[in-house]
Structure 1
Amino acid sequence: MEDDTTPDNEQQQQINVELSDEVAEGIYSNLAMIAHSNSEFVVDFIRLMPGIPKAKVKARIIMTPDHAKRLLLALKDNIEKYEKAFGKIEGGSDAPRFPLNFGGTLGEA
């Protein structure tokens, strides 16, 4: 005999997520800087361009510590799934060194 009743605390909640065309295009970032206080984490997504010593923050996300931890676990889970499907991601263990060099000549003003 199957029990098709689910306790209230186990029911899946559906969320209607809207994605505008502008947001769906995404923003490229090749550096993230993270700061935190006792009540929030601030993640700045930055785009560095080769040979240009100035970088712009393209997006800033502010979240609670609880949500930051959930993001960490979700990223870990997704990286494991990615590596299982496509192979190990090389790198990622070295912190960026400043100034960053993209292999080209440094920009001059």
Structure 2
Amino acid sequence: MDDEKDKKQKEDQQINVELSDEVAEGIYSNLAMIAHSNSEFVIDFIRLMPGVPKARVKSRIIMTPDHAKRLLNALKDNVEKYEKAFGKIESGNEPPEFPMNFGGTLGEA
């Protein structure tokens, strides 16, 4: 009986998530800036391209502190799973160089 009740509760808690074709394509970002107040976290996802003096915010996500902490824990868990499957990620401790160098030579027009 308790198993049926637990199963029913889990079914009631499921969320149907819709993903449009446009959103499914994703947005590339190679830089994020984070700010916060006492009631929210603001994460700006930015695309910084070599040789372009201006970086553009491609997406801004605003969330509560509780959700920001959940995101932090989910990212930590996923990075650990990734490294277990594919090996250690060898970066992240040094701030990026500006302008960012993507390797190769700089193009000229």
Query: TM over 0.5, yes or no?
Result: yes
Match of 2:22 in 1: 22
Higher helix share: 2
Letter in 2 for 1:49: M
Which residue of the partner structure matches residue 61 of structure 1? 61
Correspondence for 1:52: 52
Structure 1 length-normalised TM: 0.84
Q: 1:100 to 1:106 in 2, by over 3 A?
A: farther
Partner SS state of residue 59, structure 2: strand
Match of 1:96 in 2: 96
1:73 corresponds to 2:73: yes
Structure 1 residue ranges (4+ consecutive) displaced by more than 4 angstroms after TM superposition: none
Separation in 1, partners of 2:24, 2:108: 32
State the shift of 1:107 in Å. 7.7
8 Å contact from structure 2 (residues 48, 56) kept in 1:
yes
Residue aligned with 1:6, SS? helix
Deviation at 1:51, TM superposition (A): 1.1
Ranges in structure 2 where 5+ consecutive residues have no aligned partner: none
Alpha-carbon deviations, 1:22-62, whole Å to 9, x = none?
00000000000000000000000000001111000000000
How far does residue 7 in structure 1 lie from its aligned partner after superposition?
9.2
Percent identity of paired positions between Structure 1 and Structure 2: 78
Count, aligned residues: 105
SS at match of 1:91: coil
**TM-score normalized by structure 2?**
0.84
Q: 1:91 corresponds to which letter in structure 2?
A: S
* C-alpha displacement of 1:106: 8.5
Residues 41 and 64, structure 1, Cα contact 8 Å, conserved in 2: yes
> What's the secondary structure of 2:68's corresponding residue?
helix
What is the correspondence of 1:25-44 to structure 2 with a 5 Å cutoff?
A: 25-44=25-44
